[in-house]
Amino acid sequence: MTETYEVIVIGGGAAGLSAALVLGRARRRTLVVDAGEPRNAPAAHMQGYLTRDGMPPAEFLATGREEIARYGVELVRDHAVDVTGDFTVTLASGRTVQARRLVVATGLKDELPPVPGVAERFGRDVLHCPYCHGWEVRDQAFGVLATTPLSVHQALMVSQWSKDVTLFLHTVGAAELSGDDVRRLSAAGVRVVPGEVRELVVENDRFTGVRLTDDTTYDREVLFVAPRAVPQNGLLEKLGAEFRETPFGAYPVLDETGRTTVPGVWAAGNVMGFGEQVVNAAAGGYRAGATINGDLLMTDLDTASRV
């Protein structure tokens, strides 16, 4: 038995919950399907969201779930594993649900460099985003683990938060740095250390430095890494959405409301862009939800007036 809704939102992070809030308040029969694995789960605090700065991510999402429930939006903890062209969504539990419009807000996964210690400490003293954590670790001894020549940009950016920055070239050859890279690193006072990092040094549950394969260790208090972004876009692919390739993964082609190239399907949050912070994800979800409500209304009015 397939239950029907006006809108199904796949993903219940900031983007999906925000879309659902607008849709619920617009009296749309809405279902949120959420696997419950938000990207920022490893972090104890969420920064930079005006009026919620410092709030634990889990508390933020729990508040959002309470808010959508007030307007009759249903939320199911499940994984959407398949979708067809008529917007029938199959969940891992075997349940099928169908809707007139879809919001895909499935986020992205961070694939971390396979250096021992990085995964264990990610979100604590191994960080990726200075806007998320830079203020909290300001003026500490930073390391930056290079995994591509683009890591130079990260080293330059974090120098805004500390003047003690060491870039470990790790898998990047010194010859891969451009003349501009070398000039800017020097101007920012960033030290550059060639050689592969073997492991992180951790003492008393604190990151204290990195050890290279030649056994040299460098004392550091914080390590910035650049995870490979893996957008969770499999459902959009199944629906036949068009994508654009970026250095940070493939993201759907959208109009300014978040509408994909598949009529009736919107995307919001990190699945539509690597740089979407929580506040942007919530804004994108809101925009998608409001646009869908208007789209449904006009579609129904047009249908009724043509009869």
Ligand X SMILES: Cc1cc2nc3c(=O)[nH]c(=O)nc-3n(C[C@H](O)[C@H](O)[C@H](O)COP(=O)(O)OP(=O)(O)OC[C@H]3O[C@@H](n4cnc5c(N)ncnc54)[C@H](O)[C@@H]3O)c2cc1C
Contact residues for ligand X, defined by CB under 6 A = 10-16, 33-40, 42-43, 46-49, 79-80, 105-107, 110, 123, 129, 132, 232, 269-270, 276-279, 281
Bridge partners for 224 per DSSP: 127, 144
**Cβ proximity of 246 and 270 under 8 Å:** no
Q: Is the CB of 107 or the CB of 289 nearer to ligand X?
A: 107
Pairing of strands 96-104, 265-267: parallel
**Cβ proximity of 28 and 9 under 8 Å:** no
Burial class for 93, CB neighbours closer than 10 Å (0-12, 13-18, 19+): exposed
Shortest Cβ 290–ligand X spacing (Å): 17
Pairing of strands 88-91, 96-104: antiparallel
φ, ψ (nearest 5 deg) of residue 179: -60, -40
Q: Is the CB of 125 or the CB of 181 nearer to ligand X?
A: 125
**Cβ proximity of 94 and 85 under 8 Å:** no
Shortest Cβ 242–ligand X spacing (Å): 20
Alpha helices by DSSP H, the chain: 14-25, 57-69, 118-121, 130-133, 151-158, 179-188, 234-239, 278-306
Shortest Cβ 175–ligand X spacing (Å): 31
Shortest Cβ 57–ligand X spacing (Å): 7
Shortest Cβ 113–ligand X spacing (Å): 14
**Cβ proximity of 7 and 53 under 8 Å:** no
Among left, alpha and beta (phi > 0; psi -120 to 50; other), residue 222 is beta
Q: Is the CB of 62 or the CB of 297 nearer to ligand X?
A: 62
Q: Is the CB of 181 or the CB of 269 nearer to ligand X?
A: 269
Q: Is the CB of 36 or the CB of 85 nearer to ligand X?
A: 36
Q: Is the CB of 12 or the CB of 117 nearer to ligand X?
A: 12
Q: Is the CB of 63 or the CB of 186 nearer to ligand X?
A: 63
Shortest Cβ 67–ligand X spacing (Å): 15
Helix (H) or strand (E) holding 33, with range, is strand 30-34
Query: What is the C-alpha radius of gyration for the chain, rounded to an integer number of angstroms?
Result: 22
Shortest Cβ 53–ligand X spacing (Å): 9
Half-sphere exposure of 129 (CA within 13 A, CB side): 18
